[in-house]
Amino acid sequence: MTTTPGADPTMAHRIGEQTVTVLGPDGSPLAGAEVTVAQRRHAFGFGNIGFDFIPLANDEHALDPKEVETFGGASIEQLERLAELWLDVFNTATLPFYWGRFEPVRGRPDTGRLRRTAQWFADRDVDLKGHPLVWHTVTAPWLLDLSTTEVEQVQRQRITRDVTDFTGLIDTWDAINEAVIMPVFDKEDNGITRLCRAKGRIATVRMAFEEARAANPDATLLLNDFDMSTAYECLIEGVLEGGVQPDVLGLQSHMHQGYWGEEKTLGIIDRFARFGMPIHFTETTLLSGHAMPSELKDLNDYQIPDWPSTPEGEERQADEVVRHYRTLLSHPSVEAITYWGLTDDGMWLGAPGGFVRKDGTPKPAYDALRGLVKGDWWYAPTTMRTGADGTITVRGWYGDYEVAARGETATFGLDRTGTAEVRLG
């Protein structure tokens, strides 16, 4: 297996051994009792976008195409089944805060619908991330009517408002997206590129982190980019030099032009792991159809009427999904992977990158990923007997667990502390 000094394919860094003291209702250790231990949740973030489920969470039964989010737009009738598939594999959802969609008319943000969607996920034990607070694409068109000074002012206010409005529900944010290209982005005139050209990248990144941090000091804030070249490294160095400390580095990995392979992927992770911050793979796509031509520089330039998922493509996708997830989890710096969509229905660019076909049936990649997340990398329910001191030893994947005995259930976290205590009843 391809690996690097920074990676460990045995995944030892994701597995711990916990001594759990099981107490009875009276608080004394439950000696010699038969208990069943089961994993409930991964510590690792297995994420996907949750854009599709806004109508479901809001009990909307008609879908105005204009209202469909740019990325993610599955048909209403499929949503309940898709939600089951989603929830069976993923534990972290990214919600859309594209300014141009979230607040197409100044002063009328879509806060209510997004809050209900976030709550819907939270009720199902799913962590949330908001994406993104600052970006030049799909930004508010009305910024073009403002001066650069005013753009900065409203951008700061929007960060404060949205981070505040969602504190407690969404405590992880892509504070800024694609700052490397931001000031030289030339596809479309927009207020954020103007602002970034005037302020510079580092000052724009600082603005995003400053406001988000002030609004929610406990938030986890990401610097996120698709540029895996030395450009992003240089930006990170400059950002750190400028006294801005991201909590997490976000790396995109939309592989519409073909799977990167293990060597390239680990090389990229090693280069960014040098900064000592945790890494999230924030946006991952692997196709079950033909690849986009490699000469295209901007994925958005590829627009075709029909991009089919094929049987061979689906087999390859399943294989690549397994390889990609295995590779990422083998590196201790990676703490989360967010896949960019569940279903081909309404997927970004019309690409067959989902785990589910347009007709709602799961592709092999879905079963393959589930086989890892809930199989190879999952602690299967295990019945055992507590010792004389009421303890059991659980060796498993970091995450949340439950102990059940005599109709009672209690939970504990399997983490690096090595010990836990649960009280039944």
Min separation Cβ 17 and its own copies, Å: 35
- Residue closer to its own copies by CB (options 76, 231) is 231
Instruction: Find the binding residues for its own copies in span 197-216 (CB under 8 A).
Output: 197, 200-202
In single-letter form, the type of residue at position 382 comes to T
Closest CA to 45 of 4, 94, 116, 79: 94
Min separation Cβ 334 and its own copies, Å: 19
In single-letter form, the type of residue at position 190 comes to N
- Residue closer to its own copies by CB (options 157, 230) is 230
Of 76, 144, 214, 231, the one binding its own copies (CB under 8 A) is 231
DSSP-assigned letter for residue 272: H
Residue 408 in the binding site for its own copies (CB under 8 A): no
Of the candidate spans 35-43, 131-139, 228-236, 407-415, the one that interacts with its own copies by CB under 8 A turns out to be 228-236
- Residue closer to its own copies by CB (options 100, 200) is 200
Closest CA to 146 of 176, 181, 106: 106
Residue 227 in the binding site for its own copies (CB under 8 A): yes
Min separation Cβ 181 and its own copies, Å: 6
Q: What angle do CA 350, 356, 362 make, to 5 degrees?
A: 155
Residue 230 in the binding site for its own copies (CB under 8 A): yes
Distance CA 86, CA 72 (A): 13
Residue 233 in the binding site for its own copies (CB under 8 A): yes
Contact mark string toward its own copies, 241..270, x via CB under 8 A: xx----------------------------
- Residue closer to its own copies by CB (options 106, 271) is 271
Min separation Cβ 182 and its own copies, Å: 9
**Token couple for 162:** 């949205």
Instruction: Give the pairing of strands 15-23 and 419-423.
Output: parallel
CA dihedral defined by 157, 159, 162, 167, rounded to 10 degrees?
-120
- Residue closer to its own copies by CB (options 249, 420) is 249
Distance CA 176, CA 208 (A): 6
**Token couple for 25:** 């209702």
Residue 306 in the binding site for its own copies (CB under 8 A): no
Min separation Cβ 303 and its own copies, Å: 25
Residue-wise burial string across 346-363, b where 16 or more C-beta atoms lie within 10 A, e elsewhere:
bbbbebbbbbbbbebebb
Of 232, 281, 340, 379, the one binding its own copies (CB under 8 A) is 232
**147 SS3 class:** coil
Min separation Cβ 193 and its own copies, Å: 13
Instruction: Find the binding residues for its own copies in span 273-302 (CB under 8 A).
Output: 274
- Residue closer to its own copies by CB (options 118, 249) is 249
The answer to whether the beta carbons of residues 40 and 379 sit under 8 Å apart is no
- Residue closer to its own copies by CB (options 74, 268) is 268
**317 SS3 class:** helix
- Residue closer to its own copies by CB (options 231, 304) is 231
- Residue closer to its own copies by CB (options 69, 225) is 225
Q: What is the 3-state secondary structure (H, E, C) of 50-66?
A: CHHHHHHHCCCCCCCHH
Residue 180 in the binding site for its own copies (CB under 8 A): yes
Residue 235 in the binding site for its own copies (CB under 8 A): yes
Residues 6+ apart with CB under 8 A from 253: 260, 265, 281, 283, 284, 285, 324
In single-letter form, the type of residue at position 287 comes to L
- Residue closer to its own copies by CB (options 271, 374) is 271
**Token couple for 335:** 């703490």
Sheet holding 391-397, edge to edge: 391-397, 15-23, 419-423
- Binding footprint of its own copies on the chain (CB under 8 A): 180-181, 183-184, 197, 200-202, 227, 229-235, 237-239, 241-242, 271, 274
